[in-house]
Amino acid sequence: MKRMKCDLLSFTIEELRHEAEALHWPSFRGEQIFAWLQKGTTSFDEMTNLSVAQRQLLKENYHINRLKLIDKQVSAQDGTTKYLFQLEDDQLIESVLMLYRHGASVCLSTQVGCAMGCSFCASGQEGLVRNLTTAEMLNQALYITADQPNRVSHLVLMGSGEPLQNLPNVVKLMKIANHSKGLHISMRHMTLSTCGLIPEIRQLEALQLPFNLAISLHAPNDDIRKRLMPVATRYSVQELTETCEAYAKQTGRRITYEYALIKGVNDSPEHMVMLGDLLSGKLCHVNLIPVNPVSGSAYRSRDAQHTQQLKIILERKKIPVTIRREMGSDIDAACGQLKRRTLAKEGKDT
**35-84 pLDDT, tens per residue?**
999 999 999 999 999 999 999 999 999 999 999 999 999 999 888 999 99
Predicted local confidence at residue 293, as pLDDT: 73
Residues 6+ apart with CB under 8 A from 219: 225, 227, 228, 229, 232, 237, 266, 271
In the residue annotation, 335 being an active-site residue is answered as yes
Q: For residue 185, list its beta bridge partners.
A: none
In the residue annotation, 94 being an active-site residue is answered as yes
Q: For residue 84, list its beta bridge partners.
A: 71, 94
pLDDT of 283 over the 70 cut: yes
Catalytic residue among 114, 195, 284, 335: 335
Predicted local confidence at residue 350, as pLDDT: 46
User: 214 falls in which pLDDT band (50, 70, 90)?
Assistant: very high
Q: Average pLDDT for residues 130-154, to the nearest whole number?
A: 95
pLDDT of 344 over the 80 cut: no
Predicted local confidence at residue 347, as pLDDT: 61
CA angle, residues 35, 110, 299, in degrees to nearest 5? 145
Q: Average pLDDT for residues 83-87, to the nearest whole number?
A: 97
Residue 152: which H helix or E strand, with range?
Answer: strand 152-157
Domain ranges of the chain: 6-63, 68-345
Number of neighbours of residue 298 by Cβ within 10 angstroms: 9
Length reported for the chain: 350
Q: Average pLDDT for residues 3-22, to the nearest whole number?
A: 92
Q: What is d(CA 224, CA 192) in angstroms, rounded to the nearest whole number?
A: 24
Catalytic residue among 94, 136, 205, 258: 94
CATH class of the region 68-345: alpha beta
Give Rg (Cα) of the chain.
21
Q: Average pLDDT for residues 313-321, to the nearest whole number?
A: 97
Task: Enter the pTM of the model.
Answer: 0.91
Range scoring the smallest mean pLDDT among 20-24, 29-33, 36-40, 326-330: 326-330
CATH, range 6-63: 1.10.150.530
